[in-house]
Amino acid sequence: MTANRQLLRQRVDQGSTFWFGGAQDALTALLVDQSDLDGIFTTGFGISAALLGQPDMELYTLSENACVVDRIAHVVRKPIFADADTGYGNVLNVGRTVRLLEKAGVAALSLEDQVSPKRCPAAATASIVVPMADAVARIHAAVDARQDPDLVIVARTDAMDPAEAIERAARYAEAGADVIQPISRTFESYAQLTQLREACGRRLSLQLMAGTWMAGLSRAQIEAVAAFATYPIASLMTVVAGVQANLAELAARRSGDAGNLPAAQVSMAQFKTLIGWHELEACQQRLEHPETR
């Protein structure tokens, strides 16, 4: 945990961009961990979908979120960036949220300035933010609650007006936020992202999703302004598309043949390798039969 936080803090301070893949459960997180991406982002949008089968309207609780994050932390080695939503209440709740997620082992977490319960800006028609003073208090509470100074606090603003978003970002930075996260629907160009970074004096956290204008940014542009670059829901949407396609084919086929489906399947041998079957089997053998050591 400490080493991952130190690594992430160094990257934030030294200027190189950390690339995250989104994960909604432990299995997806394991796949991200085994990829060439730098770390795992625990997406609230995905957790709500995978855990509850419900939209991201802050229906799941802090305890449920922390439980998923804790399970993920037990199977991955790379740094975890957790979605902490609005902090789940007032400043005291924000403090508890930070302490629980830090204890679970995250290296960074994001807090947003929406009202609670929030609405994911990627899906909702509008975002309603709390008064600026209340949002600043959330960041103060997060900074005050963290035990490890290397834990990175990301402040997200969902303000729809660019000028207001820039002002809020500057205030959140003054309150101790390490990184600022804008939403794509507020800003319309790379020039505006540069303006945001210069105004708040902090590097940015960008959520890169298909269908948004940020998807057109080049790697050089992203790395010039961003400390964190995240593909939050690519894994989730890939799973949905693949499972839907294969189920439709199986429903049409209705035979004993479960192979040659539209979305490729890994073999059982491949799955056992990625899930760590052989390591656990060897561990069991060693513990139950010490004479074989």
**155 with 191: CB under 8 angstroms?**
no
Catalytic residue list contains 120: yes
Chain position carrying tokens 């820039």: 166
Q: CA geometry: angle at 208 spanning 156 and 57, to 5°?
A: 55
Is residue 122 packed enough to be buried (19+ CB in 10 Å), middle (13-18) or exposed (0-12)? middle
Chain position carrying tokens 């000028």: 163
Distance CA 97, CA 100 (A): 5
Distance of CA 70 to the CA centre of its chain: 14
Main-chain dihedrals φ then ψ at residue 14, nearest 5 degrees: -90, -15
**239 with 264: CB under 8 angstroms?**
no
Distance CA 181, CA 283 (A): 43
**39 with 79: CB under 8 angstroms?**
yes
Distance CA 9, CA 15 (A): 10
Distance CA 261, CA 271 (A): 17
Choose among 21, 29, 20: nearest CA to 69. Answer: 29
Can you read off the two tokens belonging to residue 109?
A: 């977490």
> Of residues 67, 120, 200, 283, which has the active-site annotation?
120
**69 with 26: CB under 8 angstroms?**
no
Report the catalytic residues: 120
